[in-house]
Amino acid sequence: MTAPAVNDGPHPGRPGPRTLLVSPGRHGAYQTIGAALRDVPDGGVVSVADGSYPETFELLDRSLTVRAVDGATVVLDGSGGDWPVLTVRGGSLTLEGVEVRASVAAIQVENAHLTVERCTISARVGPAISVRGCPRFAVRRCAISGSAQGIVVESSSGRVDDTSVDDVASDGVVVGLGADPEIRNCTISDCGQRGIYVYQYARPVIEGCDISGTTGPGIAVAHQSRPVVRRTRVRNVQGVGIAFGPGCAGSVEECQLDNTAEPSIEVAEGATPTVTEPARHPAATGDVGLDDLLAELDGMVGLAAVKAEVRALVDEIQVNEWRRKAGLPVGGVSHHLIFTGAPGTGKTTVARTYGKLLKALGVLARGQFHEVSRRDLVGQYIGHTAEKTTQVFEAAKGGVLFIDEAYTLSRQAGSGGDFGQEVIDTLVKLMEDHRDEVAVIVAGYTGEMSDFLAVNPGLASRFSKTIEFENYTPEDLLQIIGRMVAQGDYLMDDDARPVLLDYFDRISRDPNFGNARDARRLFEGVRKAQSQRLRALGRMPDVTELRAVTAADVRTASA
């Protein structure tokens, strides 16, 4: 069959790409897209008129363009099949102005060049667009919705611009296996898990995006990945705004984080991202009110004694401020604290909230949270430590300086080549000279913190109070893991709860008990056990099966 050849702007002596027209019912035109694809030469264009086309295609080492005729509504409908609508391996494909409806996956591309522009795409079970091993791809001005996943990019370079991803059952955008795409000016909303998931050495640039309505974190970074997140807004999500897993790095620059779980930016132990002060929406610059912050504190699991101590501090600060306004004398109050207790008992989270409370009370200018450890304070030669410690202290002014495992500064004091003692001596002077400009919180094991305070006669007097964080009870840990399950959009069987309680009761007697860290570690194990169980089904699970966590999963993870 021969179709009209419409050349796009031919030049003398140089014909444009051959264009084949698909228009069912029109004489001289191709009746199906498949027929046109068989005849179109490499570099050619298949131009498609109005209509719904129940066709799927596999293109191997082809280079061509499929586009809708100007003003036409073209639907590639593969919703009745159990395979992708478009499978591309090698070569290149440009798809313009087309709606793609799929049952499994809409567009699946490997080792090819891909351009998708002004398309509407959905896939009930699989990803809307999946690119793997692609040296170059571009997704521009597209709308993706109603899919299991939005866009999956693995081992590829390219761009996603001005595209919306909405109403997906799992992650909005997944970037992994060393991929380094640029994701700019995109809107990602209403995702069953994360807005953007970055994993396994990926290095995307995420800029100018708006992420909202996710069950998990707005952006989650895992497995040694290093994204650049710039001028992006994360709002109204159930999880934290941005989460960095162990070993991850990258940067967060001028981002706006509103109405997320706390902390808005979660940095796991061993992660080293660079975070600049988040930009705030004008409506949010008034910060969270005192009552809301106290409600946030009360919402934490357990920690009844800790909450009471913090509330007592807030009451004292508030009354002092009232006395000052009334012209009555007010005694000097130190805002420096000591947090003692085992790991995983919420010390870091409470310290973050304390900084916000001090700002809400007008005590601190900014209320920001700056966490450091020994390596951030100790220098490499005489004089370097004092300089380094002073720089860290200056950066924390207006907020909270949180020194975790502070006892490590005193462990080797007096031994040759160790400058931990110099850190302590420098801090003592800075805390006194700038007592109203920063709140220093030192944290660590109860017994070892006593040794830490003994290394400098003036150190203990700089702190107003010691707050003891007790271990979580098995019931507390059950509640904590229940929140993790809900945030991950899982449903736990009722018969899994006694198995969890028994496990938490058993490990809580271990001298190395990690409290909430052990709960998180168990939850990761439960997810792994569920994944192995579902893979063994030999078929794709339905949504109910994907969400279900069973007692058997818990037993496997806790064995």
- Express each pLDDT in 102-138 by its tens digit: 888 899 999 999 999 999 999 888 899 999 999 999 9
| pLDDT higher than threshold 60 for residue 5 | no
Residue 2 pLDDT: 38
Q: Which domains does the chain have, with CATH numbers?
A: 170-283 (no CATH), 290-469 (3.40.50.300), 474-558 (1.10.8.60)
What is the pLDDT at residue 479?
87
Site of tokens 């140089």? 14
Using DSSP, state whether 554 is helix, strand or coil: helix
**What is the reported pLDDT for 61?**
93
Per-residue pLDDT at 180 exceeds 90: yes
User: How would residue 516 be classed by pLDDT, with cut points 50, 70 and 90?
Assistant: confident
Q: DSSP secondary structure string, 29-49? A: SBSSHHHHHHHPPTTEEEEE-
User: How far is 140 from 118, CA to CA, in rounded Å?
Assistant: 6
Q: Hunting for tokens 């004398």 — which residue is that?
A: 329
Dig out the tokens for 548 from the structure: 């279900």
Token representation of residue 169 = 């059952």
CA gap 332, 15 in Å, rounded: 85
- Rounded alpha-carbon distances, angstroms, from residue 546 to 124, 192, 213, 533: 14, 12, 20, 10
Most confident residue range from 8-12, 70-74, 231-235, 410-414: 231-235
The lowest-confidence range among 146-160, 169-183, 256-270, 311-325 is 311-325
Task: Give Cβ neighbours of residue 512 (< 8 Å, ≥ 6 apart).
Answer: none
Helices (H), 108-188: none
Do residues 219 and 255 lie in contact, with contact meaning Cβ atoms separated by under 8 Å? no
Its sign, for the CA torsion 373, 406, 294, 304, is positive
Which residues are bridge partners to 189 per DSSP? 166, 212
Between 390 and 20, residue with greater pLDDT: 20
Q: Do the Cβ atoms of 442 and 452 come closer than 8 Å?
A: yes
Range 455-482 average pLDDT: 85
Asked if the peptide bond before residue 263 counts as cis, ω within 30 degrees of 0, the response is: yes
Q: Which of 256, 254, 252 is nearest to 229 (CA)?
A: 252
- Express each pLDDT in 132-152 by its tens digit: 999 999 999 999 988 889 999
CB 179 within 8 A of CB 156: yes
Report the 10 Å Cβ neighbour count for 402: 25
Residue 322 exposed, middle or buried by CB count within 10 Å (0-12, 13-18, 19+): exposed
Angle at 261 between CA 265 and CA 223, to 5 degrees: 45
Q: Give the N- to C-terminal CA distance of the chain in Å, as an integer.
A: 66
Q: Are 47 and 7 in contact (CB under 8 A)?
A: no
> How far is CA 39 from each of CA 1, 21, 88, rounded to the nearest angstrom?
9, 11, 17
